Structure 1
Amino acid sequence: MRAITLLLGLLGIIISTSLSAKTINGVVTDESNLAIPGVSVIIKGTTNGTSTNIDGKYTIEVEKGDILIYSFVGMISQEIEITDQSVINVTMRAEHIGVDEVVVVGFSKKTKKSFSGSVAGIRIRGASSRKAKRHAMAFCEYDMDYNTEGYSTINENNYKNTVESPVSTFSIDVDAASYSNVRRFLTNGEKPPIDAIRIEEMINYFNYHYEQPKGEHPFAIHHEIAECPWNNDNLLLHIGLQGKKIEAENLPASNLVFLLDVSGSMNSQNKLPLLKKAFKLLINQLRPEDKVAIVVYAGSSGLVLPSTNGSEKEEILNALNKLSAGGSTAGAAGLKLAYKTARENFIDGGNNRIILATDGDFNVGISSNAEMERLIEKERNNGVFISVLGFGMGNYKDDKMEIIADKGNGNYSYIDNILEAKKVLVNEFGGTLHTIAKDVKIQIEFNPAIVEEYRLIGYENRMLNKEDFDDDKKDAGELGSGHNVTALYEIKLAKKKRKNQNLKYQDTKLNAKALSKDEIASVKFRYKNPKGRKSILITEEIPMNVSSEQTISENFQFSAAVAGFGLLLRKSKHKGNCNYKMLIDLAQNSKGKDEEGYRGEFIRLMKLAKHL
């Protein structure tokens, strides 16, 4: 009898629990009805929860009476009690921070007797300082007295006179690290350092979905001219390259070496733990014909996983999960061992690549940029490329990361969260790992009869001399499967007939082609096949056709909005009439389908920057 009573009691509990348990679905948006990815949805008083996907959608199992907490950086948290709902859509509002509460001061030294605390460059004051400090601490996993982050100096491009300097030459750049790094600063309540803002990388973070190439070359060329949004007297020339997309199953086999920094500087949540999560995403993309080795370095370097077939995912994941941080940073030994491992497992006709993941803090071994360059260039010429994933903050060495990727024929990305890892290692898997064209150079000759002056926006550290264009020994950028590259020139039009140069030993005269004014410029491209040593030349004329306000493309408008944002962040002397309202309106009007939500996120970043 007692057993029957107990059984009935347990049955009652199970029935009661099943009746009270339910699934909640919903979408989280901002005040502009844009989806917010990465919103934390937690059951109050527990650690049970989920987060919104790239479309702002979430699903969570709850019970009646539970309270859901919705939180996201820069937004006001909300609490909603579960009653009879099955769908809960939430609109989050921006958290307006008064200037008396937060003053951005950079990374300042902490003192015990200071009235105001200093957390991640945010000095907190006033009645709400305790709450703001806790909020800032939640996003800062490191404890640094000083900011030792390193960035290469960027001297902004100025206007060039077309008669004196009609030719502009530069190397392409598909890196996008600057954008996600800028996002990290802004979401932490800081203005990014001027030299951290590389406008070309911000523009090239986004996919512009240009038409795929149809001819013999591995990329298609697109161009468009319209009025410059921040200067009505000028034109903006938009040039886009679209790399041929190769489906993952058709990519050549990959011989990958993960070179992972496990030194003491990686011992924080936004470094090694995030690194592990990111590489798990990549491991899940591997095919049986791919193979992976794992090399780590700290006080010394070691091979923790010999080259292993992509079908042995459990073995690869086990090796990754066992990693922990500690020791100094023996960068030299790690690089050398990674290259040795890659050479020993070299795949002819395959993708032989090292993927370096680090905060860039090489403080033992190879420390000078020149030494690293020589090592990486030598191995690049032997067919082993290197890509770089950056992690962390406070001691981040952006300058070294950029050099490694540029010299190693690889990509450079900054991983500030797991969604960025998904973008780089899942969504753009082929482009991140597989090169379809190397040493890609662009040279544009402007028509002096139409163009008085021109200015390339960004690409300051990618500029080449005129003679470098025809020099096949001169290294340049790489284009990956499906990647696109965009460049913008601001153009001042010639308002009166050109006069010849007043020079003693030479005269400059415009020929009939220039005076016809049919072409605003001529553009040349050089590239090599991934294994090639001799470049291939493509030439194309850009007609003087200016798009009207009605015919201007979404790609043109959105890339201009991103460029304008970069000009504002850099406090550029060339920003013209740029302001946040104009740029936000321009981006919202050209957001398009935005299937992955990246353009919507950019709009929210500009709104946040406006308040900062």
Structure 2
Amino acid sequence: MKNVKLISLALSMLICFVVSAQERTITGTISDKSGQALPGVNVQIQKTKKSATTDFDGKYNIQAQKGDVILITFIGYQNQTKTIGDENIINVVLQEDNQSLQEVVVTTAMASKKRKATKSSTQMVQGKVAGVAISSGYVQYAPSQSIVVRDVVSLSPKNEPLYILDGVPVKSDQFAKINPNDIQDVKVLKDKDATSTYGSKASNGVVVIDTKNGIYKNLTEKELDAKLNIVHPAPTPNQEDYDAFVENAFESPKTAPLSTFSIDVDNASYTNIRRFINNGQAVPKDAVRVEEMVNFFKYNYPQPKDQHPFSINTELSDSPWNTKNQILRIGLQGKNIATENLPASNMVFLIDVSGSMEDDNKLPLLIQSMKILVNELRAKDNVAIVVYAGAAGLVLPPTSGDEKETINDALESLQAGGSTAGGAGIELAYKIAAENFIKDGNNRVILATDGDFNVGSSSNSDMEKLIEQKRKTGVFLTCLGYGMGNYKDSKMETLADKGNGNYAYIDNIQEANRFLGKEFKGSMFAIAKDVKIQIEFNPKQVQAYRLIGYENRKLRPEDFKNDAIDAGELGSNHTVTALYEIIPAGVESDYLNQQPDALKYTKVQETANNYNDELATIKFRYKKPDGDKSIEMVNVIPNKTVALNKASDDFKFSTAVAWFGLKLRDSKLISNKSTTDILKLAKQGLSRDSEGYKAEFIRLVESAKNVL
């Protein structure tokens, strides 16, 4: 009998293995009938929880096996299904949902009713939906009240629904200006029927209007305002806050022999810049941190092959913006640890629910972002939720990662209002993290806010001291920035820099999916902390050098071996790239200051070995995530230059990104500022772009011509 059970168990395991082995990655592009790519389309394997969302280029990828049925859904388009056969690429063209219902639909969680849009039925709708006045077969504002879709309990101070016009969310003032003769269908969704489709931002209901021939479809906000004759008052002054800094200058290896800095894995600057450009706004000079732009992208560095947690890679080629100069690229590749081997997590979500967070691109986007992170959690992981507004409080005690519905329900319950007691929130979050500390685990506070602290410890110096104190607990910090207008980048960067942390700016749900979903391991699991780099250039080969970016991460030479000095962390499978611009020995340059006379007491000693074949010696120091003593690595960089046209694709692309950043900062240290040349180099380096982020960068550069 025992043998029969063993055989049965073995057969079951074999069947599971075979089924698993049959699963493969399905990719494709979703577009409309005109060939326009559709971002944000939901792609789901029916009868499973597997789903994906298309990126900016309409591309998706999902794990499935032969015989599975893919369901493709998108607002304003007809649902489609595709059965998976032997093909690995499935492209889908969605058809617009142009059915002429000529009706008003009011949907609640209890019942769904449809009535023809006749005078009698519209009067019935008017009586059912508070604040909606309907006459002559169309919807308009009631004269003395705003539109409100609610049940007995009010869910928000404004009680205002989400308005959808021809498939696109619009503002209430735009909704009020719609020509009633253009309206074809009106639908009012309530309760779960609203939130299941549109998320938490639809908690007060949704009013959906389809116009005849979709006349407002695909209009930008400005185009819609113009079509509806809406004139906005002058905008309030921008209150966003960025730390000012001066870009690194060229230095001589004879007078400054060592260049020392902390790694920076943050990429908030890039997504923030993207937000400005996409909105047609000028980019503030101090919002541009070139290293964060470069490190937004992933590069093809090899995995480490020794006991160290990252590999070291270098490449030397010509400078594209100063043709007499060279660019040295230094790349680190973090070890990729399998998800099942990652340590258990003790996470505390610290969420700003103050009044400044009520905009759609703040708390509502934050909630949907956190759900993406929750989806990555395992049963051995724990999550607590702390919020702060006028005061700080515990919304959810530590809860197992497999209780996703409980965690998500707690997130959905959050509402914005009040002032911002950021200091009190941080104190409570770290207290909860310390009380549930997992030895050898991943202990982390995840702060999500617009950075607008205005109660308690609010100055950058106060917050810096608080975070420096808290990092001694062994708890790491991740900062997620949201919003615009009053966004406090300087505070967010300070917190991340001083708290063994990383920092990302979430400008849309696609970015949330990238940072918290696709790059979950790199964002949330440190494999090395306090990673420092120190490079000594050979004066026989290098007349002058400058570090491109990292202005806020520079260290003193003596800080390199000082284990008390904080530096950046490196996550699982993370990459870090740093670029140096070099003026070779013997090259005349307008960027060099007048050289001083030879010094009597500090004359450089000549040695028998001139190291003619060496460009530089580079050293690294890092600590293990739970360690206090640093480990040193040393590499020699050969003096071997490759022509730019023969450099790697990653070299070309990373250099193009840095070039664009320097142009945005209006750098005085680049002679060529041609956008055309930047685009040309970026396109030459366009490879391994399955997610479409590099192609998006090229589009941003093209769009930026209008704001530069």
Fold in common (TM above 0.5): yes
- Sort the Cα spacing of 1:136 and 1:334 in 2 relative to 1 into closer, same or farther, 3 A: farther
How far apart, CA to CA, are the structure 2 residues paired with 1:500 and 1:354?
A: 50
Match of 1:180 in 2: 271
How far apart, CA to CA, are the structure 2 residues paired with 1:65 and 1:188?
A: 26
How far apart, CA to CA, are the structure 2 residues paired with 1:257 and 1:405?
A: 16
2:500 is the alignment partner of 1:409 = yes
How far apart, CA to CA, are the structure 1 residues paired with 2:639 and 2:76?
A: 66
Conserved 8 A contact 1:561-1:583:
yes
1:124-143 CA distances to partner (integer Å, 9 max, x unpaired)?
xxxx9995473899xxx999
Match of 1:221 in 2: 312
How far apart, CA to CA, are the structure 1 residues paired with 2:427 and 2:624?
A: 27
Match of 1:330 in 2: 421
Residue 391 of structure 1 aligns to which amino acid in structure 2?
A: Y
Pairing 1:53-72 to 2, within 5 Å after superposition:
53=55, 55-57=57-59
2:637 is the alignment partner of 1:542 = yes
- Sort the Cα spacing of 1:539 and 1:595 in 2 relative to 1 into closer, same or farther, 3 A: same
- SS at 2:501 equivalent: coil
2:295 is the alignment partner of 1:293 = no
Residue 177 of structure 1 aligns to which amino acid in structure 2?
A: A
Match of 1:315 in 2: 406
1:8-44 CA distances to partner (integer Å, 9 max, x unpaired)?
xxxxxxxxxxxxxxxxx96459x9x99674589xxxx
How far apart, CA to CA, are the structure 1 residues paired with 2:399 and 2:233?
A: 34
Deviation at 1:547, TM superposition (A): 1.2
1:278-314 CA distances to partner (integer Å, 9 max, x unpaired)?
0010111110000000000111111010000111111
Match of 1:18 in 2: none
1:200-243 CA distances to partner (integer Å, 9 max, x unpaired)?
00000000021000101000000000011111111110000111
Pairing 1:518-529 to 2, within 5 Å after superposition:
518-529=613-624
Deviation at 1:377, TM superposition (A): 1.6
Deviates more, 1:305-314 or 1:500-509: 500-509
How far apart, CA to CA, are the structure 2 residues paired with 1:184 and 1:340?
A: 35
- Sort the Cα spacing of 1:35 and 1:468 in 2 relative to 1 into closer, same or farther, 3 A: farther
Match of 2:574 in 1: 483
Conserved 8 A contact 1:283-1:310:
yes
- SS at 2:690 equivalent: coil
Match of 1:584 in 2: 679
- Sort the Cα spacing of 1:570 and 1:65 in 2 relative to 1 into closer, same or farther, 3 A: closer
Residue 526 of structure 1 aligns to which amino acid in structure 2?
A: R
**Aligned to 1:437, which of 520, 528, 531?**
528
Match of 2:113 in 1: none
Deviation at 1:60, TM superposition (A): 5.5
How far apart, CA to CA, are the structure 2 residues paired with 1:151 and 1:520?
A: 36
Match of 2:374 in 1: 283
Conserved 8 A contact 1:258-1:354:
yes
Deviation at 1:533, TM superposition (A): 1.0
How far apart, CA to CA, are the structure 2 residues paired with 1:62 and 1:217?
A: 46
1:62-102 CA distances to partner (integer Å, 9 max, x unpaired)?
99999xxxxxxxxxxxx98789xxxxxxxxxxxxxxxxxxx
Deviation at 1:333, TM superposition (A): 1.4
Deviation at 1:344, TM superposition (A): 1.2
How far apart, CA to CA, are the structure 2 residues paired with 1:496 and 1:143?
A: 52
Match of 2:348 in 1: 257
Conserved 8 A contact 2:59-2:691:
no
2:445 is the alignment partner of 1:354 = yes
Deviation at 1:531, TM superposition (A): 1.2
Residue 213 of structure 1 aligns to which amino acid in structure 2?
A: P
Match of 1:533 in 2: 628
Conserved 8 A contact 2:478-2:503:
yes
Match of 1:508 in 2: 604
How far apart, CA to CA, are the structure 2 residues paired with 1:516 and 1:129?
A: 60
How far apart, CA to CA, are the structure 2 residues paired with 1:472 and 1:552?
A: 37
Match of 1:494 in 2: 585
2:664 is the alignment partner of 1:569 = yes
Residue 686 of structure 2 aligns to which amino acid in structure 1?
A: K
- SS at 2:463 equivalent: helix
How far apart, CA to CA, are the structure 2 residues paired with 1:443 and 1:130?
A: 49
Match of 2:84 in 1: none
How far apart, CA to CA, are the structure 1 residues paired with 2:477 and 2:677?
A: 40
Match of 2:166 in 1: none
Match of 2:19 in 1: none
How far apart, CA to CA, are the structure 1 residues paired with 2:413 and 2:492?
A: 25
How far apart, CA to CA, are the structure 2 residues paired with 1:244 and 1:402?
A: 26
Residue 58 of structure 2 aligns to which amino acid in structure 1?
A: G
Match of 2:690 in 1: 595
Residue 608 of structure 2 aligns to which amino acid in structure 1?
A: A
How far apart, CA to CA, are the structure 2 residues paired with 1:289 and 1:233?
A: 56
Residue 240 of structure 1 aligns to which amino acid in structure 2?
A: G
2:643 is the alignment partner of 1:552 = no
1:248-268 CA distances to partner (integer Å, 9 max, x unpaired)?
221100000000000000010
Conserved 8 A contact 1:155-1:460:
yes
- SS at 1:567 equivalent: helix
How many equivalent residue pairs? 519
- Sort the Cα spacing of 1:27 and 1:347 in 2 relative to 1 into closer, same or farther, 3 A: same
Residue 681 of structure 2 aligns to which amino acid in structure 1?
A: L
- Sort the Cα spacing of 1:500 and 1:448 in 2 relative to 1 into closer, same or farther, 3 A: farther
Deviation at 1:191, TM superposition (A): 1.6
**Aligned to 1:164, which of 246, 255, 277?**
255
Match of 1:267 in 2: 358
Deviation at 1:516, TM superposition (A): 4.0
Q: Compute the TM-score of the two structures, normalised by the length of structure 2.
A: 0.69
How far apart, CA to CA, are the structure 2 residues paired with 1:483 and 1:136?
A: 47
**Aligned to 2:474, which of 375, 378, 383?**
383
Residue 283 of structure 1 aligns to which amino acid in structure 2?
A: V
2:551 is the alignment partner of 1:460 = yes
Conserved 8 A contact 1:136-1:188:
no
Deviation at 1:575, TM superposition (A): 2.0
Conserved 8 A contact 1:449-1:510:
no
Deviation at 1:587, TM superposition (A): 1.0
Match of 1:90 in 2: none
Structure number with greater Rg is 2
Identity of aligned residues (%): 55
Match of 2:290 in 1: 199
- Sort the Cα spacing of 1:229 and 1:152 in 2 relative to 1 into closer, same or farther, 3 A: same
Residue 598 of structure 1 aligns to which amino acid in structure 2?
A: Y
How far apart, CA to CA, are the structure 1 residues paired with 2:75 and 2:308?
A: 58
- Sort the Cα spacing of 1:374 and 1:605 in 2 relative to 1 into closer, same or farther, 3 A: same
Deviation at 1:569, TM superposition (A): 0.5
Match of 1:230 in 2: 321
- Sort the Cα spacing of 1:343 and 1:201 in 2 relative to 1 into closer, same or farther, 3 A: same
Conserved 8 A contact 1:339-1:379:
yes
CA RMSD of aligned residues (A): 3.2
Conserved 8 A contact 2:55-2:691:
no
Structure 2's unaligned 5+ residue stretches are: 1-27, 43-51, 61-70, 79-93, 99-218, 589-594
Deviates more, 1:221-230 or 1:361-370: 361-370
Residue 173 of structure 1 aligns to which amino acid in structure 2?
A: D
Deviates more, 1:459-468 or 1:142-151: 142-151
**Aligned to 2:484, which of 389, 393, 415?**
393
- Sort the Cα spacing of 1:382 and 1:254 in 2 relative to 1 into closer, same or farther, 3 A: same
1:470-521 CA distances to partner (integer Å, 9 max, x unpaired)?
1111111111111111000110011179x996223332234233x3410011
Conserved 8 A contact 2:324-2:587:
no
Match of 1:124 in 2: none
Residue 433 of structure 2 aligns to which amino acid in structure 1?
A: A
- SS at 1:568 equivalent: helix
Conserved 8 A contact 2:30-2:41:
no
Conserved 8 A contact 1:519-1:541:
yes
Conserved 8 A contact 1:409-1:478:
yes
How far apart, CA to CA, are the structure 2 residues paired with 1:201 and 1:376?
A: 22
Structure 1's unaligned 5+ residue stretches are: 1-24, 41-49, 67-78, 84-127
Pairing 1:234-245 to 2, within 5 Å after superposition:
234-245=325-336
